[in-house]
Amino acid sequence: MFKGFTRFLQGPGERLRSLFGPEEASGPAAGPRIIPRSEHPVSRQHFSEAALKVLYRLHNAGYEAYLVGGCMRDSLLGKMPKDFDVATDATPEQVRELFRNSRIIGRRFRIVHVRFGREVIEVTTFRGTHGDDHGDHIAQQSEHGLLLRDNVWGNIQEDAIRRDFTVNAIYYSIADFSIHDFADGMRDIASRTLRLIGDPALRYREDPVRMLRAVRFAAKLDFHIAPETERPIAELAPLLLQIPPARLFDELLKLFMAGHGENTFRLLRQYGLFAMLFPETDEAMAELAWIEPLIEQALASTDQRIHEERPVTPAFLIAALLWGPVQRRQTALEANGMPPIPALQLASQQVLSRQLQHISIPKRFSLPVRDIWDLQQRLPQRRGKRALQTREHPRFRAAYDFLLLREAAGEIAPGLGDWWTAYQEGDEHEQRRLLEKAGTDAGPAGNSARRRRPRKRRRRSSPGPS
Ligand code: ATP
Ligand code: MG
């Protein structure tokens, strides 16, 4: 179905240039470049029925209605859009009146969600430029230029230049199926460039999350970030510290749970953004070489699961992202004489509470994170009924996967992971044999492979590595 697109993008340079305009032009054009239906490859077949229904109902009620944002960008790249954003001149209340199945959400940025079964279409009223009074407006900016609210209504032209990247400001009109390109986004699609509309430093100050969005889209779309869009990031990265933790949690899921986490992580580190999200992990990474491979592998396996459409949980990733600092603190507490179990408990608690100042982690995720960490101490203990009890813990599977990750990243010596693999796969007889082995084996599979403390009363049966 997308063959036409590939041809469109790979088409002769001349054709693209004539559509996209002169190379040197940049930033918002004076008016839109309008591309009639006969000259672009996007057809209604690429849009969901729900999206079309919303567009037509708005149109038939006399409002303007356009598809815009990710769905247009993805369609033009020949990818299946994952959701649809509609822009209109109808106010949220007017949209609400047209659709029974809708509700207004958001305060900072009021939009309407129109629901069709499991699909939600986001309908946004054209945003206007600040400073001019549109009566119904509420816009607020902090002393640093941070946009606290953005509910000034405007026209489509104003709406386009309020958007973040040129490739996100391409509109598809339901009135005549034409594309309206306000900021040379079509040209940037063709050259796979992510370019902020307007003055980049100003746009990042208005909303520092745009720095994360730049990296997220670059990783997801395999685009490069234009030099002037890239330049201010190093200096402005600390502005992310002003963003409410709840918003950063939403953004975190989009960064790491969308199938491109590993690439995204590399770019976040490259641009100095990761340190603003996970400061303690960033510090620990400078000291402990295994942290980076541990995180990369956790992200790589999450990416793979997403591509295979298998279930994923943020808890596993969060456990991996914060395990480095937990281990660093635990080591320090133990060095001060605290026994390992309370040291891990206290370290976990301290790391989570410091992290929560930056990114809020709902309890439904932080509790499993604690379980995954606690189980790391139980996995080496297999005598008597312990192995069976650990095996039956609801979070065993995640904790076992986490153990394999730690071994693969070189944090601990391999061995225990294989033991648990064999234990899970073995029949009763084999399990009994493994338990006996665990009872006598003092090698890495027999005890905690790391920081083993010599037992006081019992003689060690073999000198295994510590
Ligand atoms: P995807 O949904 O694939 O992650 P998207 O581009 O659709 O990508 P959304 O967060 O759904 O991203 O936003 C929809 C559109 O709203 C964007 O394409 C962009 O035009 C605009 N937008 C979203 N967030 C911002 C922002 N922080 N600043 C300016 N414009 C934004
Ligand atoms: Mg979207």
Q: Considering only CA atoms, which residue is closest to atom 21 of ligand 1?
A: 163
Of all ligands present, the nearest one to the C-alpha of 243 is 1
pLDDT value for 247: 95
Is 85 catalytic? The answer is yes
Q: Work out whether strand 111-116 and strand 119-125 pair parallel, antiparallel, or are unpaired.
A: antiparallel
Residue 352's closest CA among 366, 373, 338, 333?
Answer: 366
Q: Whose CA is nearest to atom 8 of ligand 1?
A: 70
Q: Which ligand is nearest to the CA of 207?
A: 1
pLDDT of residue 149: 66
Q: Distance (Å, rounded) from C-alpha 196 to C-alpha 108? A: 21
Half-sphere exposure of 48 (CA within 13 A, CB side): 19
373, 326 contact by CB (below 8 A): yes
| CA terminus-to-terminus distance, the chain | 59
Which of 282, 280, 275, 290 lies closest to 233 in space, CA to CA? 275
Ligand 1: which of 127, 163, 209 to mutate, judged by most atoms within 8 Å of the beta carbon? 163
Which amino acid appears at position 272 of this protein?
Answer: G
Whole-model pTM: value is 0.86
Ligand 1, atom 7: closest residue by C-alpha: 70
Vertex 342 angle, CA 340 and 347, to 5°: 90
Distance 39 CA to ligand 2 centre (A): 25
**Residues whose beta carbon lies within 6 Å of some atom of ligand 1:** 69-70, 83, 85, 163-164, 168-169, 207, 209-210
**What distance in Å separates the CA atoms of residue 327 and residue 285, rounded to the nearest whole number?**
11
Residue 210 Cα to ligand 1 midpoint, Å, equals 9
Residue 427 is predicted with a pLDDT of 85
**17/423 Cα distance (integer angstroms):** 63
Active site residue 89: no
- Give the three-class secondary structure for 260: coil
H-assigned helices in 409-455: 416-425, 428-440
The whole-number mean pLDDT for each consecutive block of 10 residues of the chain, a chain of 466 residues, reads 49 41 45 93 93 97 97 94 95 95 88 96 90 50 70 90 96 97 97 97 97 98 97 98 96 97 98 98 96 97 96 96 98 97 97 97 96 94 83 91 95 89 84 80 44 43 38
Tokens 């402005």 -> residue: 236
Ligand 1 atom nearest to 206, measured from its CA = 28
The neighbouring-strand residues paired with 123 are 86, 112
Q: Which atom of ligand 1 is nearest to the CA of 73?
A: 6
What three-state secondary structure class fits 127? strand
69 CA distance to ligand 1 middle (Å): 6
Q: Give φ, ψ of 294 to 5 degrees.
A: -60, -45
By most ligand atoms within 8 Å of CB, the mutation choice from 112, 122, 126, 164 for ligand 1 is: 164
Name the active-site residue from 83, 371, 374, 401.
83
Q: Nearest C-alpha to atom 11 of ligand 1 is from which residue?
A: 70
Decide: 128 and 90 in contact? Cβ < 8 Å.
no
Q: Is the dihedral of CA 372, 377, 381, 385 positive or negative?
A: negative
Q: Let me know if domain 263-445 sits in CATH 1.10.10.10.
A: no
CA distance linking residue 127 with residue 130, whole number of Å? 9
Largest CA distance in the chain: 86
- Indicate which residue's Cα is closest to atom 22 of ligand 1: 163
| C-alpha–C-alpha distance, residues 123 and 116, integer Å | 13
**At 426, is the secondary structure helix, strand, or coil?**
coil
Atom of ligand 1 nearest to the CA of 70: 7
Q: What's the CA gap between 125 and 111, in Å, rounded?
A: 7
Distance CA 426, CA 442 (A): 21
Atom number in ligand 1 closest to CA 213? 27
Q: How far is the CA of 369 from the centre of ligand 1 (A)?
A: 30
Query: What is the location of CATH 1.10.3090.10 in the chain?
Result: 263-445
Ligand closest in space to the Cα of 203: 1
Note whether 2 and 76 are within 8 A (CB): no
Q: Which residues of 272-283 are buried (b: 16+ CB within 10 A; e: fewer)?
A: bbbbbbbbbbbe
- Is 188 catalytic? The answer is no
Q: Could you tell me if 304 and 385 are in contact, meaning their C-beta atoms sit under 8 angstroms apart?
A: no
Smallest-distance ligand from the CA of 74: 1
What residue spans of 61-104 are helical by DSSP H? Answer: 70-76, 92-98
Interatomic CA distance for residues 447 and 295, integer angstroms: 25
DSSP conformation class of 166: G
CATH classification (class only), 6-191: alpha beta
Domain with CATH 3.30.460.10 in the chain: 6-191
In ligand 1, which atom is closest to the CA atom of 74? Answer: 3
Look at ligand 1, atom 18, and give the residue with the nearest C-alpha.
69
Contact 349, 373 (CB under 8 A): no
Task: Indicate which residue's Cα is closest to atom 6 of ligand 1.
Answer: 70
